[in-house]
A and B are shown apart, each in its own frame.
Chain A
Amino acid sequence: MADAIAVPQVQLVQPALRFLRVIPGVLLLAAVGYAGKLLEQNVGAYAKAHHWTFPNIEYVLWAIVLGLVISNTVGVPEIFRTGVATYEFWLKAGIVLLGSRFLLGDILKLGGVSLALVAIEIVGSLAFMTFLGRLFELKPKLTTLLAVGSAVCGVSAIIATKGAIEADDEDSSFSIAAILALGALALFTFPVIGHFLHLSDKAYGLWAGLGVDNTAEATAAGALYSDAAGKLAVLVKSTRNAMIGFVVLGYAIYWASKGQAQAVGNKAAFLWQKFPKFVLGFLLISVLATYHFFNKDQVGALANLSRWAFLLTFAGVGLRTNFGDMRKQGLRPFAVGAIGEVVIAGFTLALVYGAGKLFGW
């Protein structure tokens, strides 16, 4: 009798405990993000009042830098880590809500162009990273993970591919570390290069969406340039994310043919399982906005909700980046990733220039 009562209680308590474990970290994300927002408002005003020449630093950069300082000095205590890891949840919810600011016609027009560029980028990146992996004599599955991480969508693609090709934990940790370290570098280098080259918001947004690997970093790198560039970077990155299932399926079939992974049974079910559902949510919200399901004020409210979600994401990008951890992962995968990223950044920039000439941007 006692057992019959105890089991449901345990089942109820566990989800509640999981939820409670998330709260401290989410509060830390909110505190760091909001501090970034306050710094944006107050530092600029203070500099202006004292007649100082000081660049206008957006909350995006303040939130990331504050997070980086905490993570690389005092560190993130264990109690906050589960909640900090939810930054990816806020990113995806933010992207879905951002769909309200896109009309379906714009998505189809820009999505068509970006789909063509994404296809070229994915094929070129996979081929180049595979060549580099062989040149540096990395393990074949590690090379696959790095190639997928660079070509498609960073950490999510690596995790999805790891399961499908039965790669080692060590290989996926190496790949994730390299992709995250390079994503952090891209955050600071892409906007500088974009301004140096006087790229338009459209060209820069396309470039950030194509060239930066992880969705959080691509969103932040776009937002650091301008609001319009940020929107476009999210759209292009989401198009890349939509390709994840096809690329992972291709590698799963390849490794299964070598007898080093399980064969894929139902390919349609596999594709649906790997497809990022937030891309569908983004499209659905934009359909609703296009057909005036939301009025103008409501679209404004949804856009602001999206900004708050991104605020937590940007704080999380800084808080989860620890350069000490990355150094421990070894130099060779990082070197392969770094060389690959530089070449892919140049390649995608050339693609964007080419598309600009073709479409008269």
Chain B
Amino acid sequence: MRAEVEARKAGSRRKLSLDTWAVLVAFLLALLVRAGVFKHVPW
């Protein structure tokens, strides 16, 4: 739990928040799927 709190505090000092990074990564993945780089993602 301490690691979690520290990670969040460190995150708030970064220029981009954890939220923003998560959105950017998700959109990058979505664009790769749209571009056909990932044609099928198994589950």
Write the residues of chain A forming the contact surface with B, with a CB cutoff of 8 angstroms: 81-82, 84-86, 88-94, 96-97, 100, 155, 159, 163, 172-173, 176-177, 180, 276-278, 280-281, 284-285, 288, 293-294, 297-298, 300-302, 304-305, 307-308, 320, 322, 325
**A294 to B34, Cβ gap below 8 A?**
yes
Chief secondary structure at chain A's binding surface: helix
**B22 to A301, Cβ gap below 8 A?**
no
**B23 to A301, Cβ gap below 8 A?**
no
**A172 to B5, Cβ gap below 8 A?**
yes
Answer whether A301 and B38 are a contact pair too, CB < 8 Å, given A93-B22, A96-B27, A281-B22. yes
**B29 to A97, Cβ gap below 8 A?**
yes
Contacts of A96 in B (CB 8 A): 22-23, 26-27
Chief secondary structure at chain B's binding surface: helix
Contact of A278 (CB < 8 Å), options: B12, B22, B34, B38: B22
**B34 to A176, Cβ gap below 8 A?**
no
User: Bound state CA distance, A311 and B19, in angstroms?
Assistant: 18
Answer whether A302 and B40 are a contact pair too, CB < 8 Å, given A85-B7, A159-B8. no
Question: In whole Å, how far is B18's beta carbon from the nearest beta carbon of chain A?
Answer: 6
User: Bound state CA distance, A284 and B21, in angstroms?
Assistant: 15
Write the residues of chain B forming the contact surface with A, with a CB cutoff of 8 angstroms: 1, 3-9, 12, 17-23, 25-27, 29-30, 33-34, 38-43
Contact of A89 (CB < 8 Å), options: B6, B21, B39: B21
Contacts of A280 in B (CB 8 A): 23
Contact of B30 (CB < 8 Å), options: A173, A297, A302: A302
**B22 to A92, Cβ gap below 8 A?**
yes
Question: In whole Å, how far is A180's beta carbon from the nearest beta carbon of chain B?
Answer: 7
User: Bound state CA distance, A81 and B6, in angstroms?
Assistant: 11
**B23 to A281, Cβ gap below 8 A?**
yes
Can you list 7 A-B pairs with a CB-CB distance of less than 8 A? Answer: A88-B18, A93-B26, A277-B20, A281-B23, A300-B41, A302-B33, A302-B41
Name the residue on B nearest A316 (C-beta). Answer: B4
**A277 to B17, Cβ gap below 8 A?**
yes
Answer whether A294 and B33 are a contact pair too, CB < 8 Å, given A159-B5, A305-B41. yes
Name the residue on A nearest B3 (C-beta). Answer: A81
Contacts of A305 in B (CB 8 A): 29, 33, 38, 41
Name the residue on B nearest A321 (C-beta). Answer: B1
Contacts of B17 in A (CB 8 A): 277
User: Bound state CA distance, A85 and B12, in angstroms?
Assistant: 14
Name the residue on A nearest B21 (C-beta). Answer: A89
**B5 to A177, Cβ gap below 8 A?**
no
